[in-house]
Amino acid sequence: MTRPIRCLITAGPTREFFDPVRFISNPSTGKMGYALAQAALDAAWTVDLISGPVALPPPQGVNLYPITTGAELHETCHDLFPSCDILIMCAAVCDMRPAQSHPHKVKKETFEWNVRFEPVPDILKSLSNVRKPGQVLVGFAAETRDIAEYARRKLEEKNLDWIVANDVSRSDAGFASDTNTVTLYARTGETYALQPGTKLEVASSLLALFAPTLSRTQSNT
Ligand code: CTP
């Protein structure tokens, strides 16, 4: 008897607060991550979906874990990662946070106009450092130029099995679009330029490419 594949997907943006009413983030809407979750359900996988703040209903059947900040995403990922067969890190993590966060709304008269930022630690890298043999790790590379070069570099530096390169400067492929065009790079050297399609079609094509490596893993355990 084989158990269903257990998949951990992260989706949407994270927010980093300067004070309770002001934050820095990015334009991610969660559409690609939610499409991946739907495609995984369609493939009869068990899906844990960690989601930043988005305006989408969760696909019926996922285990939903809402988060807001990078620190919350980090903690929830580390809680759930040990039990997944595959992690698909589609969240658009906000890479920087204000060095100081104020507990109350800051008044304009006392606002520091030069806000200092500090880095949000790389969650994917921290997960790949604690991976168990057989766990498959997939990252997304959101780029606006030199896409192949940056994506391959992230594949290596984050120690991933796959990276999905996304040109987010295109209106038909990036944030908020219902369609996507991506190129998939494998640790083993293969490159797959996927057919453009709806985010659900692209998600299904991606999962079909990941699935054979997962089946091998499952029969090994
Ligand atoms: N990521 C992460 N933790 C971060 C930043 C990114 O886990 N602090 C993950 C993203 O979810 C994605 C991958 O790393 O799967 C690449 O994210 P991306 O934003 O494209 O690149 P960065 O690593 O943030 O590098 P840069 O912003 O310099 O392009």
pTM of the shown model: 0.95
pLDDT of residue 167: 84
Centre of ligand 1 to C-alpha 122, Å, is 7
DSSP symbols for 24-86: E-----SHHHHHHHHHHHHTT-EEEEEE-S-SSPPPTT-EEEE--SHHHHHHHHHHHGGG-SE
Distance of CA 211 from the midpoint of ligand 1 (Å): 24
pLDDT in tens, 182-207: 999 999 999 999 999 999 999 999 99
Q: How far is the CA of 219 from the centre of ligand 1 (A)?
A: 31
Question: In this predicted model, what pLDDT tens digit does every residue of 103-159 receive, in sequence order?
Answer: 999 999 988 889 899 999 999 999 999 999 999 999 999 888 999 999 999 999 999
Task: Among 124, 130, 138, say which to mutate for ligand 1: greatest number of ligand atoms within 8 Å of CB.
Answer: 124
Minimal CA–CA distance to 207: which of 92, 65, 45, 60?
Answer: 45
Decide if 26 is catalytic: yes
59-80, pLDDT tens digit by residue?
Answer: 999 999 999 999 999 999 999 9
Give the binding-site residues of ligand 1, using a 6 Å CB cut-off. 89, 91, 93, 95, 120, 122-124, 139-142, 154
